[in-house]
Homo-oligomer: A and B are copies of this chain.
Amino acid sequence: MAARTEIKPMTADKIAAQLTDAVHEHRLQPGAKLREDELCEIFGVSRTIVRQSLRSLEFEGLLTIEKNRGAFVSKPTLKEAHEVFQARALLEPTTARAAAERANDVDIDMLEQHIEAEHAALAQDEAGLALKLSGDFHLEIARIADQNTIEQFLRQLISRSSLVIALYWRRRNALCESNAHHALLDAFRNHNGADAEELMKGHLLDIYSQLDLREREDGTTSLRDALKL
C-alpha cells in the first residue's frame, strides 16, 4: 500500500484521476464541495496544480465550477440523465460489435479479469468499487474496438452515469450487472459481433429502466431525511 503522504509532487492528472475514482466509487457524493486549499494540503501541491485538475474534471462533466463559489461534484438533472443514456445507446452497441469482432485472447483475458474483480468487490460488499469496475469494463470494450475518440466520449458518459446512478438508482444490488457482462464476454469469445451489439443494447436499456427518473426535491431533503423529521 502506498504511503498516504507522497514525497514526489503529484501531477494535475494524477490528482484528477484520484478524484475521479472517489466520485466513481461514490466516496464523494454529488453536491460535495471541493475546496482548493484542502486539496492543496492533501496532495502537497500549490493551488495552480489543484485548479488545473479541477478544470479538467469540469470539462469531463464530473465537477461543476461556480464562479467565486468553488468546485462541486456535479448533480445531473433528470434531463441530463436521460441524455447520457441516450448517447450511450448510440455509441456503445456498435462499438461492442466492432470490439467483439476484433478481440484477441489477451483482450478477452482482460475482460475476464475485470468481471472477476467486480465479483470480488461485490463479495466484499464494496458496492462503490464494483460500480467503478463495471464502468471500466465498458471502457475496456471501447479500447478493444480501437476507437480512441469514442472511448474518450464514453469516459465522460460513464463518469456522468456514475453521478446519475448515485442520484437516481432505485435499488442497491448491482448483481444483474455482472450477469450482463458475462453474456457479453461469451459473445466476445465467439467473436459474435451481432450478439454483442444486441446484448449491449439490452444491457444499457436494463440499467436505464432501473433508474428512478421521477422528479424529486433538492438535496436539502437529504438532511431532513437524515434527521428523520
Chain A residues close to B by CB (< 8 Å): 52, 55-56, 59, 79-80, 83-84, 86-87, 90-91, 94, 147-150, 153, 157, 160
Contacts and interface: CB of A to CB of B under 8 A. Distances in A.
B94 A148 contact: no
Most buried by B among A56, A80, A90: A90
A83 B52 contact: no
Listed from nearest, the 8 A-B pairs whose CB atoms lie closest are A83-B149, A59-B59, A87-B149, A153-B153, A90-B90, A87-B150, A90-B91, A90-B94
Q: How many copies does the complex hold?
A: 2
A94 to B, nearest CB: 6
A84 B90 CA distance: 15
A160 B171 CA distance: 40
A64 to B, nearest CB: 14
Contact of A148 (B52, B83, B147, B149): B83
A153 B84 CA distance: 11
A92 to B, nearest CB: 10
Contacts of A150: 83, 86-87, 90
Contacts of A83: 147-150
Contacts of A148: 79-80, 83
Contacts of A86: 147, 149-150
Contacts of A157: 149
A149 B55 contact: no
A149 B156 CA distance: 10
Contacts of A59: 56, 59
A111 B80 CA distance: 25
A89 to B, nearest CB: 9
Contact of A52 (B55, B84, B94, B147): B55
Contacts of A160: 149
Nearest to A91: B90
A76 to B, nearest CB: 10
A149 B80 contact: yes
Given A80-B148, A148-B80, A153 B55 contact: no
Contacts of A52: 55
Nearest to A147: B83
Nearest to A81: B149
